[in-house]
Amino acid sequence: MKKFFTSSSPFVPSPAQIAFSYIFLGIWTFIVLFPLYWLVVTTFKEPIDVDGGPRYIPYVDYEPSTLSFNEVFAQGVTVTRPYFNTIVVGVSSALISLIIGAMASYALSRFQYKPTFAMIGFFILSTIGVLIAIALGVPWWLAIVAGTAVYLLLAQTIAKRFERGLGNDDIAFWLISQRMLPPVAVIIPIYVLFQSFGLLDTQLALIITYSAVNLPIVIWFMRDYFNTIPTEIEESAFIDGASRLQVFWQIILPLAVPGLIATFLIVLVFTWNEYIIAVFLTKGEAQTMPLLIVAQNATRGPQWWNISLLVLLMIGPIIVMAIILERFIARGILIGAVKG
């Protein structure tokens, strides 16, 4: 019995420790997977089984039914459009955020920016002037050109006389601070903006909004990842005659594959599950899956059997994508280790 609790080496766990580890992992696995199991079994329940529950085991506690499949897929057009919109909007906005954010985060990692408070103030004043001009009836393109010219003139003259400004860390913190605001705080201006351009209830409106909302997250994550890549690799490439753009696309991005994929998945999940912005900017044509799921809480009350099926359909691609991309994450880490 003593051998059961005794370890032969500090690096080899005892049989008791191994047994405890497996028991703990088994309990934790059950806790993590039980919600998915509950979704699956609820999908095959009828209203009486849901309301009269809880009933856990098919063919023991209740008789499985295909009621949810009949009700959901009988609305094929209604389900297909939100599902397609979710895929297009989610993948497109995540890719746009990743591409722009990767370039911005690399710039923040390798270059030192010191915008003065005067330049920032003049930019804000120029922007306000452009908005006032547009409100007074000036053509938007003329107002933007005039505002840009005024800002460049002020930045090259008066702004250079001031030295106090911000650094890279300040810029990065300002970017991520944009995510601290709740979406409701900015949704009305966004709604008015897209209404004026006639883009309400379109995929383009959601793609633009989600790309802008998730861009700070990409910059924040990828800036830390680029900081871990030694600059000596880039210096060697510069000596061989490579340009900054060649170094970025051919050396830095391949080394950053694990970070890029992980960030892409995080941003995709945020976009995939987003509800507040979609409910304001869409009606029917650009409706996404979260809105369709919420709509199942109808006059009959929450239709849990339909909600469970729609949730499974919604999270299925994300789970599959995470499993597939996990292999690429491991492969990217090994490639980075060899090249580093």
Per-residue pLDDT reduced to its tens digit, 210-245: 999 999 999 998 998 898 888 898 999 999 888 999
| Within a domain: 34 | no
pLDDT at res. 328: 66
pLDDT at res. 114: 84
Paired strand residues for 301: 298
| Within a domain: 57 | no
- In angstroms, the CA 138 to CA 226 distance is 44
| Within a domain: 126 | no
Rg (CA), the chain: 27
- In angstroms, the CA 100 to CA 306 distance is 38
- In angstroms, the CA 235 to CA 255 distance is 15
pLDDT at res. 331: 54
Residues 118-130, mean pLDDT to the nearest whole number: 91
When divided into structural domains, the chain yields a total of 1
In eight-state DSSP terms, residue 9 is B
CATH number at residue 314: 1.10.3720.10
| Within a domain: 170 | no
pLDDT at res. 86: 94
Contact 247, 136 (CB under 8 A): no
pLDDT at res. 75: 64
Q: Whose CA is closest to 65, among 308, 335, 274, 330? A: 308
Question: What is the per-residue pLDDT across 143-198, written as a single tens digit (0 to 9) for each?
Answer: 999 999 999 998 888 877 888 888 888 888 888 888 888 878 889 989 988 998 88
State phi, psi for 215 to the nearest 5 degrees: -60, -45
- The C-alpha angle with vertex 309 and arms to 308 and 311, in degrees rounded to 5, equals 65
Contact 216, 179 (CB under 8 A): yes
Check whether the bond before 54 is cis (ω within 30° of 0): yes
Burial class of residue 205 in the structure, from the number of CB atoms within 10 Å of its CB (0-12 exposed, 13-18 middle, 19+ buried):
buried
- CA max distance for the chain: 89
| Within a domain: 45 | no
Give the domain range for residue 245.
Answer: 76-112+197-340
Residue 338: pLDDT over 80: no
Q: What share of the chain is helix, strand, coil (3-state, %, to 5)?
A: 75, 5, 20
- In angstroms, the CA 102 to CA 104 distance is 6
Give the E-state strand segments of 136-250 in sequence order: none
| Within a domain: 37 | no
| Within a domain: 280 | yes
* Amino acid (1-letter code) at residue 259: G
Between 55 and 104, residue with greater pLDDT: 104
Q: Whose CA is closest to 93, among 237, 216, 243, 264? A: 264
| Within a domain: 176 | no
- Please provide the average confidence, as pLDDT, over all residues in the chain: 86
- In angstroms, the CA 249 to CA 237 distance is 12
Confidence of residue 272 (pLDDT cuts 50, 70, 90): very high
Contact 267, 215 (CB under 8 A): no
